[in-house]
Structure 1
């Protein structure tokens, strides 16, 4: 339980930090600046689309880095997930939240790309927009929600990561293993009682 996983933790944390920070900066800074400077929905969409297009490869790398680190940490901590009370539940919550954040990120990018095509004056983009039509009013409403959903979900992952860190304290591990043993054998008479 005490083996170090510095590289995996670093990949997990740096990837998550970039995912969270990039989405929050995009919602506040990039989208806010596009609204202030755009004037029309088409100009606003072009400005925001250009910024998000530049960020997308970095964001994809951040998400992949986070997922690689997460998978490695899960494999390294599988015994603790199995035997320490509360770790499986927080791991499941983290997995569900990660899936939701991935879905929100992908949906935002698809909507943003369609809006970018619809707002573009480039003939190739106009052709793509014709192949993938979008209701711009509806897409704008959805994007307005998604721009806050991604940082909220990834922020939730940061909070669950802090919980996981607390659960790794030696006293928490001992207490969690003891609680799991008592839960699995409620009718056994176990000597003594451990405290925090």
Structure 2
């Protein structure tokens, strides 16, 4: 009933682990250290911005790896999504949560870039910051909330991944397929009835 998809699962899980762990460590450790070590707002913002800028390529790679694994697993489990009761619902929830996590990640990067430009000692960066529609104080307030959305949403994905793993147990697959067949039976009987 089930087949091995070790490479796809590894891509999915390692990418998600790095996305969650990196965002949580940044929100707790990097931002906290930058505030503690910076002698001024600008210095603290520069420290945090430098750390986040170094994380961006790794975070982007982690997200890409996770999405490749997710897409591959969805294709590999397409039959289960259709035939096993409950799998489609958890798959839709996971897709929506992934989209929300991607949007939150992109939004935090935009806000972080605004603060990076505003705190830079480079006059060209300060000039660029003036053309951004969001002021620095507003960007900082929004970022203080948005930076927690990414680890919260990716943690939700980890929980849904656990749900998917439980649904893949042979007994759960059989039970889910029987439930799906029972819900479809009245439609099939009506559709194939000789009177129609």
TM-score, normalising length: structure 2: 0.92
Alignment of 1:120-159 (within 5 A): 120-159=120-159
Q: 1:175 Cα deviation (Å)?
A: 0.1
Report matched runs for 1:37-76 at 5 Å. Answer: 37-76=37-76
* Range 59-68 or range 123-132, more displaced: 123-132
- 1:116-144 deviation line (CA, Å, top 9, x unaligned): 00110113312321332531121111111
Question: Quick check: 1:9–1:69 contact (8 Å CA) kept in 2?
Answer: yes
Q: Helix, strand or coil: the match of 2:3? A: coil
SS at match of 1:185: helix
What are structure 1's unaligned runs of at least 5 residues? 190-196
- Separation (CA, whole Å) in 2 of partners of 1:139 and 1:76: 41
**Whole-angstrom distance in 2 between the partners of 1:73 and 1:98:** 14
Report the equivalent of 2:34.
Answer: 34
The Cα shift of 1:38 comes to: 1.7
Q: Distance in 2 between matches of 1:137 and 1:183?
A: 54
CA contact (8 A) 1:24 1:148 kept: yes
C-alpha separation between the residues in 1 aligned to 2:92 and 2:164? Answer: 12
The CA deviation at 1:35 is 1.2
1:165 corresponds to: 165
1:167 deviation in Å? 0.2
Q: 1:45, 1:186 → 2: CA distance?
A: 63
Structure-1 separation of matches of 2:170 and 2:97:
26
How far the C-alpha of 1:41 sits from its partner, in A, is 2.1
2:108 is aligned with 1:108: yes
The question of whether the paired residues in 2 share the 8 Å contact of 1:45 and 1:116 is answered with yes
Aligned to 2:11: 11
Q: What secondary structure does 2:134 align onto?
A: coil
Structure 2 unaligned blocks of 5 or more: 190-196
1:66-105 alignment runs, 5 A limit: 66-105=66-105
2:149 match: secondary structure: helix
Q: Secondary structure at the match of 2:180?
A: helix
Provide the C-alpha distance between the structure 2 equivalents of 1:187 and 1:63, rounded to a whole number of angstroms: 41
Shift of 1:152: 0.4
> Are residues 1:185 and 2:185 paired?
yes
Give 2:21's aligned residue: 21
Distance 1:31 1:187 in 2: 57
The TM-score normalised by the length of structure 1 is: 0.92
The Cα shift of 1:188 comes to: 8.3
